[in-house]
Structure 1
Amino acid sequence: MIQQIYPSVQHSFQYELNKDMQFAAAHSIPAEEAGHCARVHGHTYFANVTIAGDELDSSGFLVNFAAVKKLIHNRFDHTYLNDHTDVFDNNDPNRFPTTEVVARTIYEIVQAFLDETPNKATCVQVFLRETPTSYCIYRPKKAASHD
């Protein structure tokens, strides 16, 4: 994998880790304004998840890299995103599987996992590249409260 530099998010945590992963998935955007993207098509998504915190777990990890990959790659790779009706909704524009919503959904999935860990790390950023020239960054507003 090519080493990449991502926009960084400011925070006051002692530790920060980044997990890169790819997943191939198809989707369609159920809106007339989406143009060609209203048709079923696919991407090789490239995601970077940034997690920060002050305490390590009993294994000496902020979070295990493999756990983050399992949450996202194993769930979405080689699937039709619109079929994931637990997180996407073809009737709600705030839940259409656009790049923005997929990035936010990755955050929601990762943060829900982190909330169940004893050391309570925080997902501070999700970078999601949909094509070589198009990407989205999602940063939750609540992360700013840690500064």
Structure 2
Amino acid sequence: MLQQIYPQVQHDYTYELNKDLQFAAAHFIPHPDAGQCRNVHGHTYFVNITVAGDELDDSGFLVNFQALKKIVSDPFDHTLLNDHQMFSEKQPENFPSTEVVARKIYEMIQAYLDTLPNKPKCLQVFLRETPTSYVVYRPKRGK
């Protein structure tokens, strides 16, 4: 993977962790305005996850890198995203577009982080679909 410079999130946390991941997956957008994206096609997605917090856990980690990989890469790699229950073919806010996939990754990661005693926060998910197209998802402050 090439080293990337990602958009930075301004915050006051003591620690910031960034994890790069990738997975290969296919998808299609079930809408007439999606053009060629209505057809099944695949991408090698590159993901950068930004997690921040003020406290480390008992092992000295903000969050274990392997846990992030297991949450994101393992379930999506070599799958058809449309087959996952979290995506819908009837609700545009849940079509497997890059924007929605980035939001779903955030939701999966934050749900895991909420179980940790040191309560880190996912601040940003950067999701590159192609060499020239990417999405940044950031939750609104206070969420």
TM above 0.5, one fold?
yes
Identity level (%):
66
Matching residue of 2:35: 35
2:9 corresponds to 1:9: yes
Matching residue of 2:26: 26
CA offset digits 1:1-36 (Å, max 9, x no partner): 221110001111000000000100000000000000
Residues 46-125 of structure 1: pairs in structure 2 closer than 5 A:
46-85=46-85, 87-125=86-124
Q: How many pairs were matched up?
A: 143
CA distance in 2, matches of 1:34, 1:94: 14
CA offset digits 1:74-105 (Å, max 9, x no partner): 010000000001x1111100000000000000
CA distance in 2, matches of 1:110, 1:36: 31
CA offset digits 1:24-68 (Å, max 9, x no partner): 000000000000000000000000000000000010000000000
CA distance in 1, matches of 2:80, 2:61: 33
CA offset digits 1:93-123 (Å, max 9, x no partner): 0000000000000000000000001111000
CA distance in 2, matches of 1:109, 1:139: 14
* Alpha-carbon distance, 1:145 to partner: 3.7
The amino acid that maps onto 2:83 is D
CA distance in 2, matches of 1:24, 1:3: 19
CA distance in 2, matches of 1:101, 1:70: 19
* Alpha-carbon distance, 1:135 to partner: 0.2
Stretches of structure 2 lacking an aligned partner (at least 5 in a row)? none
RMSD: 1.0
- TM-score by length of structure 1 reads 0.95
